[in-house]
Amino acid sequence: MPEISKYSLVIVGNNDLEFKSVFFERLNNTLIDKNIFVIAPNIVKPNGIHQNPYSIKPVSCIRKLLYKILYLSYKVAKVIFWFSSLLGVAKSEKDRNGFEKSQYIFAGHGSCYVLTSNYFKYNGLLVNLTFLMGEEFILSKQISDTGGKIFYDADLLVLHNEHSSMENLASRRVYEYNRTAYNIIRNFC
């Protein structure tokens, strides 16, 4: 394996991403401040929904409480999802707030990141604590601990054919992946 620190940019992404040539042209012409360790691209699903910025600010106390309740057990989660769907407040397909504006953010969507040479200068390799879930907050913590920032670039477009690797998994298994990740990252966000 080549020495990773010699690269100015490294794209880390899922296997269900599609890049157009304009992505690489834009990336090659981007001036990167020394405090930017990661660039989060504008990730768009086939239905046009924008998945970034994943989290502009750290997770609120209310949302943390909701996560705590949600991850008590699979049965509790099923009741919450059933009840929220009755009320019409279930997770909906909508754009992330702030997707139209390039800005510094707390965490980007984990399906695609661009790591800069600044990242490798202070961090080395990525930290791998979870499986498939929660990497956004692990990376965010790692970057903030070393004085860096994540920059969301609204003009850096990527198509994400979301969850093509997870669509065949049972909902209980996906829940357990999420629950395990939550127990690891709950203090990071």
pLDDT in tens, 110-151: 899 999 999 988 887 777 766 667 788 889 989 999 999 999
Average pLDDT, the chain: 85
Segment 4-28 mean pLDDT: 88
User: For the chain, what are the domain ranges?
Assistant: 8-59+92-171
Confidence (pLDDT) at 1: 41
Per-residue pLDDT reduced to its tens digit, 68-109: 988 889 999 888 888 887 877 656 567 788 899 999 999 999
In sign, the C-alpha dihedral spanning 99, 63, 167, 80 is: negative
The architecture CATH gives domain 8-59+92-171: Alpha-Beta Complex (3.90)
- pTM beyond 0.85, yes or no: no
Confidence (pLDDT) at 94: 74
